[in-house]
């Protein structure tokens, strides 16, 4: 889920939604280059396309058709940056092998060759060894076994017009394979971990009358091997042009096929690129609605009510369309973890998640006709929060990300109360390092709460008597608290004072506005109050307007605390940044009979649900 993104760490992005109405395209600013080909290369690609028309492939697409056949595609980063990988296994249990090629600037797959092997691995063209390393059995640069794929090869003379022609020559030699280097096909033989080993093998071939040259690849080369062996099936090197190797499974039955990789099941294809000559950046290029199904299945459970899953689908779709170019340097649109949206392909998909995506296909959340940044999180503990309080963003740019008192979550009896003890030293180093603090922190206080009862500001005081105030959202983010709904606990804590004024409900908690108030009907259904609301009091009736003062907070925890044994203990409820939709709140609302539109409109102020 996009649950841990903060303005202190990530920028906010604005995206031209009109550019997405046709399909996701490579962004020139992201470093994804328009792939220019030599005339000979174009002719070869055309020949390959003719050959590919004889195949029945995933989803019924031809060689140069986009993944998902006719729908938008999206590029999802699976392994990148510090998580880039040396080798990755792919397994197609349903199909008849894989085809190799590249994705053009429109994410259309152009086939160069194929294999009937259903268990393959893609590796860097350096010395790699098959075995277990860092809890993953694949190919690694660490010498974990004697099964090696070496970086030196023997190349037969000349280039070839097609994969079939090069393969016909390479297959005459033990260990022969096709290589596609810089737009041309070559026939190569063997893989050797040392140049001396390659030279010795070269001498043996020369004795048989075969002239060869010892070759390697550039820092951008990748090899496809039969998993668990030293057998190279195909080699690809774009010489740094930025296309990378594309791999898609071949399906012979017309059913949309899937690929297993690192315990997850994926639709679509994969792109392997060694950005800057580094390890493998792996991207799943998949149909947009297949991607949304994967997000819904990962972010929620297939057992949840369909209306909650529908709300998640619309939120996920909206969020994906507004993320912008955050991952442009790694040449994909969106990542697969909580920095963007959690995505494990189709691994957890089921009847309900598929129905939720199908029944909301193309639907997004709109504010004044524009797709919103539909942030969401696990649980708010009783109230969501406005984006300006959490991330310090300009609230006028996100009028739909307002705080909302949430009475629904508590009906689930969630066990989401948490406690974190933070030292004075950590508070200074993480929060106050730029404030010239020279003395230890001795106390903390919440001087103001939001209307919905979340802390608004936090004030810390040091032993020299200096006080430092900041947004509660900054405290949440920098100290790593689980949510934005918190207070204090422990020895030295004092209870909050209750603001005066306003109308009291049941003799407690003075109220001066309607925010966070609900009416309950005879069936137990809650309805948020709005507009002019009148309540009966001892002196007659009183009107509650839209305005009002600040709440005293949740009332469950202290509003101030002294440092004890060098630390302050924070306590709270919920999990996540509290901005936008609560996933567990959506579940609770769906269980009470609310529709997905009502759920979305409750958590995103003033929005409508429509189409892109």
DSSP 258-313: -EEETTEEE-SEEEEE-GGG-SBEEEEEEEHHHHHHHHHHHHS-TTS-HHHHHHHH
Residue 592 pLDDT > 70, yes or no? yes
The per-residue pLDDT for 438 is 78
Q: How far apart are CA 532 and CA 280, in angstroms?
A: 60
Instruction: Give one DSSP letter per residue of 342-360, joined into a string.
Output: --BBBTT--HHHHHHHHHT
Residue 293 pLDDT > 90, yes or no? yes
Q: What is the mean pLDDT of the chain?
A: 83
Looking at per-residue confidence, does 313 or 258 come out higher?
A: 313
Looking at per-residue confidence, does 109 or 542 come out higher?
A: 109
The per-residue pLDDT for 517 is 60
The per-residue pLDDT for 120 is 98
The per-residue pLDDT for 251 is 79
For the segment 437-463, the average pLDDT, to the nearest whole number, is 92
Residue 66 pLDDT > 70, yes or no? no
For the segment 131-150, the average pLDDT, to the nearest whole number, is 97
Q: What are phi and psi of 152, to 5 degrees?
A: -110, 140
Looking at per-residue confidence, does 508 or 209 come out higher?
A: 209
Contact yes or no for 345/5 (Cβ under 8 A): no
197-225 pLDDT tens trace: 999 999 999 998 999 999 999 999 999 99
CA 484 from centre of chain: 22
The per-residue pLDDT for 276 is 94
Helices 596-603 and 306-321, axial angle in degrees (round to 10):
50
Residue 129 pLDDT > 90, yes or no? yes
For the segment 340-352, the average pLDDT, to the nearest whole number, is 96
Share of the chain above pLDDT 70, in %: 78
CA 388 from centre of chain: 23
Residue 511 pLDDT > 50, yes or no? no
Q: How far apart are CA 573 and CA 341, in angstroms?
A: 22
Q: What is the pTM of this model?
A: 0.80
What is the torsional sign of CA 58, 68, 111, 62?
positive
CA 419 from centre of chain: 28
The per-residue pLDDT for 541 is 38
């Amino acid at each position: 889920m996009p649950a841990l993104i903060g303005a202190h760490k990530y920028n906010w992005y604005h995206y031209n939604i009109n550019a997405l109405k046709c399909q996701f395209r490579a962004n020139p600013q992201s470093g994804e280059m328009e792939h220019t080909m030599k005339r000979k290369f174009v002719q070869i690609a055309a020949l390959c396309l003719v050959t590919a028309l004889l195949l029945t492939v995933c989803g019924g697409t031809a060689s140069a058709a986009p993944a998902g056949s006719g729908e938008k595609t999206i590029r999802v980063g699976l392994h990148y940056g510090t998580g880039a990988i040396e080798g990755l296994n792919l397994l197609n249990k349903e199909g008849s092998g894989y085809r190799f090629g590249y994705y053009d600037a429109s994410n259309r797959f152009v086939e160069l060759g194929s294999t009937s092997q259903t268990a393959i691995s893609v590796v860097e063209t350096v010395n790699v060894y098959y075995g277990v390393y860092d809890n993953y059995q694949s190919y690694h640069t660490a010498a974990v076994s004697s099964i090696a794929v070496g970086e030196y090869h023997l190349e037969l003379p000349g280039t070839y017009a097609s994969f079939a022609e090069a393969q016909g020559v390479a297959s005459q030699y033990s260990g022969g394979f096709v290589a596609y280097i810089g737009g041309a096909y070559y026939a190569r033989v063997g893989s050797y971990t040392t140049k001396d080993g390659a030279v010795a093998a070269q001498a043996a071939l020369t004795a048989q009358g075969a002239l060869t040259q010892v070759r390697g690849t550039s820092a951008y080369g990748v090899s496809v091997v039969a998993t668990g062996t030293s057998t190279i099936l195909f080699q690809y090197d774009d010489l740094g042009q930025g296309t990378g190797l594309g791999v898609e499974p071949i399906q012979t039955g017309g059913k949309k096929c899937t690929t297993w990789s690192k315990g997850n099941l994926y639709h679509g294809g994969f792109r392997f690129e060694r950005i800057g000559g580094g390890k493998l950046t792996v991207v799943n290029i998949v149909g947009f609605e297949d991607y949304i199904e994967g997000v819904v299945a990962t972010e929620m459970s297939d057992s949840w009510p369909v209306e909650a899953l529908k709300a998640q689908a619309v939120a996920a779709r909206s969020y994906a369309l507004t993320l912008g170019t955050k991952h442009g340097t790694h040449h994909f649109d969106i990542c697969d973890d909580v920095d963007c949206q959690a995505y494990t392909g189709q691994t957890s998909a089921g009847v309900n998640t598929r129905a939720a995506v199908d029944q909301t296909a193309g639907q997004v959340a709109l504010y004044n006709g524009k797709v919103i940044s539909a942030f969401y999180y696990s649980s708010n503990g009783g109230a969501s929060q406005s984006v300006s309080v959490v991330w310090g963003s300009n609230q006028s740019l996100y009028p739909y990300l307002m705080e909302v008192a949430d009475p629904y979550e508590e009906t689930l009896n969630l066990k989401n109360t948490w406690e974190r003890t933070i030292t004075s030293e950590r508070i200074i180093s993480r929060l106050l390092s730029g404030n010239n603090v020279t003395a230890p922190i001795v106390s903390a206080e919440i001087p103001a709460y939001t209307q919905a009862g979340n802390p608004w500001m936090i004030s810390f005081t040091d032993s020299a008597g200096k006080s430092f105030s900041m947004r509660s959202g900054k405290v949440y983010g920098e100290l790593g608290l689980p949510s934005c709904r918190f207070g204090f606990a422990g020895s030295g804590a004092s209870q909050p004072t209750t603001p005066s004024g306003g109308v009291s409900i049941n003799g407690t908690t003075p109220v001066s506005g309607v925010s966070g108030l609900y009416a309950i009907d005879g069936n137990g259904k809650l309805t948020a109050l709005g507009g002019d609301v009148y309540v009966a009091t001892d002196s007659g009736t009183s009107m509650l307007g839209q305005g009002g003062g600040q709440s005293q907070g949740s009332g469950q925890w202290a509003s101030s605390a002294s440092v004890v044994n060098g630390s302050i203990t924070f306590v709270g409820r919920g999990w996540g940044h509290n901005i936008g939709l609560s996933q567990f709140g959506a579940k609770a609302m769906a269980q009470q009979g609310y529709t997905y539109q009502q759920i979305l409109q409750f958590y995103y102020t003033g929005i409508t649900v429509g189409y892109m």
